[in-house]
Chain A
Amino acid sequence: MSALLNVNKMTHYFGGLRAVHNYNLNIEPLQITGLIGPNGAGKTTIFNLITGVYTPTEGSITLDNENIKGLETNEIASKGLGRTFQNLALWRHMNVLDHVKMAHYSQLSYGLVGSFFNTPKCRRQESKATENSYRLLELFDIKQHADQLVTSLPYGAQRRVEMARAMATNPKILFLDEPTAGMTPDELVQMIKIIRQVHQDFKVAIFLIEHRMKFVMELCQHIQTLVFGELIAEGPPEEIQNNPQVIEAYLGKEDVT
């Protein structure tokens, strides 16, 4: 049980609907894992279950051998689980710098009173957060947009803001929910580069949902295939690519005459 993140026999029901059934996941440090599956398979639900948006009906989730099932999302996030969203979830009235600064929330200890009276401790921690934010902005190549509203940025840059923001929470594992949704081929190549860079620079494990096979095959060391809430195949990319069950799930069954 040396895995960084371990999910064991997780099952979840929405009312009478079984959305996820007996789902298992092991993520080792520094591993890039992909989760693929047709629309409606429950991929995002699995993200939401692990990150604490929903609490799974059955099963266990541990991060660094510590139970995180049933904790609030913000607690799980501050334990080292950063994420991005399928449809960008940015704060539309906030500028780029503030986005990244905001993600330092759990690292602040000056408290409300500190913020009311702008105490030296508060100023010190705020300027440290600002400094760190600029470093991240530079890394993700969005420093020139620092004081712009996120809504005025091009789509690719917005995606990078989301990544920078997620990295500011100091995650051990980064969850990426369709990081290339709606991107042009150029932006896609750039995204692969960024994810590789994040992986190397921050030494994080990455767990991602993706539809584009090229992207998944190129990045991931381990791939899981989910259909109707159940894992049907798991293994290294080459194996998944040739797995008849996966092909069936994606392309449909051949008529046997």
Chain B
Amino acid sequence: METARKFINMFSTVPVLGWMLGFFTAVLIEYYWGYDYISYYLGLPKIPVLFGTLVMLKNPMMIPGVVGYDLIVYVIPILLIAKLSTFFTNPIAVILEKTPLWVSSIVHLILFYGVLHLWAGINDYRVLVVKLTLISIILTISINVINGYQGEFSCSHPGFMAIGAYVSSIITLYFFVSDKTFGAAVLSPVLGPWLFPFALLAGGLAAALGSLLVAIPSFRTRGDYLAIISLAFMFIVKSAIENLNVIGGARGMGGQPDYAPLPIIFIWTMLCIWVVHNFVTSIMGKALNAVRDDEAASESMTVKTRKTKMTAFMFGAFWAGIAGGLFAHVLTYINPGMFSINRLAEILAMVYFGGLNSIVGSIVGAVTINILGEALRPLELFKWIIIPLILIFVMIFRPYGLISFKEINAKRLLRSRHKKEQGA
């Protein structure tokens, strides 16, 4: 225990920049030597996609090779470079600290994206996993607005997502694609990627409008009853789409243009985090918490509780719609079955695992459950035993989720760390 703490303390002087540099080195090592040398000599068939978990579970004989690969490519270079580079990453962090926070945040984000792009670019499967994870982050944050900040147990998120996905798909298919359903493209397909944000926004707004069906009953009921209403909403959306043959019915709708490459999704995710963070740290957003904790007191303190509830639902649904739109354009095919009870279970698992009332928690939850879901894929059925078990344990030890009631403090995160912190 003591040695472990000492070991961790060694790295308390590493700023975020240092970790990114370490990761960058790891990516470079993987990129140049990963296939030709490292995995070849360790007897691995190819570069392990998700840190080798897939290979490990398929063939236990590969475990030593995979562990060796992870050590050589990731663990050792990251720790080494992060620690050794502090002599120049810290001064750079100091310079960035003197700039306005938004400048420093954007610089960090661009660097982070660069590294992520390189890492994901090594194969297509990784790109897809990263894309879906980013979309999950938007989804989790958006449901956290309703279930965490507003404290209503809403089950209608897949419904909101479906509305967003279908509306934005219909718009892009109608305007920019010549296909059987909607005929020839109305506008030049060249314009497509540029007008795609508007299609997404339309999807989001449609979802927000749909959410009123759940928001208005929430004025009078809460808890279990609202949960049932929201569940009903999800099924209404699903069956409505199944019975609308114009948009493919139960067969689904395909052929969406691939307007959602990694950078676009990354930008939307960061935008979502930024906007939601601004909202929940303002008095307007904290009104959500006030209404959740004591509605009568909020009313007496001049808070418009109805408006607040409506805002929470519409705002959450809006981002779920955006996530749905991106989702549709990543998979380029959607059907109503995708937005059903399984999706709901996944979303709820992510938000409750990560932590209520916290954006950081949502990010952690979304990333963990997504990566776990992918990594444990070879276990097939057992995956759905292991993930719920983990969830149960988290609930026992941390009833509000891993990281709850905590907001991002960008300034603290990005600070330079010259001196060793006491007891850090």
Contacts and interface: CB of A to CB of B under 8 A. Distances in A.
B287 to A, nearest CB: 6
A91 B289 contact: yes
Q: Which 7 A-B pairs have the closest CB atoms?
A: A89-B297, A106-B302, A91-B293, A73-B299, A115-B282, A115-B284, A118-B278
Contacts of B289: 91, 93-94
27 contacts: A72-B299, A73-B296, A74-B305, A83-B300, A89-B297, A90-B293, A91-B294, A91-B297, A91-B298, A92-B294, A94-B293, A98-B286, A102-B290, A102-B298, A103-B302, A105-B284, A105-B287, A105-B301, A108-B283, A108-B284, A112-B311, A114-B282, A115-B278, A115-B279, A115-B283, A116-B278, A165-B301
Given A72-B299, A92-B294, A104-B283, 17 more contacts: A72-B304, A74-B299, A74-B302, A85-B296, A89-B294, A89-B296, A91-B290, A93-B289, A93-B293, A102-B283, A102-B287, A105-B284, A105-B287, A105-B303, A112-B284, A114-B284, A115-B285
Interface in A130-172: 165-166, 168-169
A26 B194 CA distance: 65
A36 interface: no
Interface residues of A, number: 40
Contacts of A92: 293-294
Interface in A1-60: 51-53
Contacts of B357: 93
A166 to B, nearest CB: 8
A90 B297 contact: yes
B190 interface: no
Q: Chain A interface mostly helix, strand, loop or mixed? A: helix
A126 interface: yes
A118 B282 contact: yes
Contacts of B300: 51, 73-74, 77, 82-83, 85, 89, 166
A77 B282 contact: no
B278 to A, nearest CB: 4
Contacts of A112: 279, 284, 311
A104 B301 CA distance: 8
B405 interface: yes
B405 A129 contact: no
Nearest to A94: B289
A103 B301 contact: yes
Interface string A80-102: 00110100011111100010011
Contacts of A83: 300
Interface of A: 51-53, 72-74, 77-78, 82-83, 85, 89-94, 98, 101-106, 108, 110-112, 114-118, 122, 126, 129, 165-166, 168-169
B244 interface: no
A102 B278 CA distance: 16
Contacts of A168: 301
B424 interface: no
B275 A169 contact: no
Given A116-B278, A169-B301, A169-B302, A90 B294 contact: yes
A84 to B, nearest CB: 9
A101 B283 contact: yes
A122 B302 contact: no
Contact of B304 (A74, A90, A110, A114): A74
A7 B204 CA distance: 48
Interface of B: 275, 278-279, 282-287, 289-290, 292-294, 296-305, 311, 357, 405
Nearest to B302: A106
A117 B277 CA distance: 10
Contacts of A51: 300
B296 A53 contact: yes
A74 to B, nearest CB: 5
Residue among B279, B302, B305 with the highest chain A CB neighbour number at 10 A: B302
Contacts of B286: 94, 98, 101-102
Nearest to A162: B297
A168 to B, nearest CB: 8
Contacts of A103: 301-302
A238 B279 CA distance: 54
Contacts of A126: 282-283
Contacts of A165: 301
B227 to A, nearest CB: 20
Residue among A85, A92, A103 with the highest chain B CB neighbour number at 10 A: A103
B302 A77 contact: yes
Residue among A52, A111, A114, A118 with the highest chain B CB neighbour number at 10 A: A118
Nearest to A123: B282
Contacts of B302: 74, 77-78, 103, 105-106, 169
Contacts of B305: 74
A99 B297 CA distance: 11
A117 B278 contact: yes
Contact of B283 (A85, A105, A117, A169): A105
A93 B283 CA distance: 14
A8 B76 CA distance: 80
B405 A93 contact: yes
Nearest to B280: A115
A89 B295 CA distance: 9
Contacts of B299: 52-53, 72-74, 77
Contacts of B301: 77, 102-103, 105, 165-166, 168-169
Contact of A116 (B275, B296, B303): B275
A177 B299 CA distance: 16
B276 to A, nearest CB: 9
Nearest to B305: A74
B282 A102 contact: no
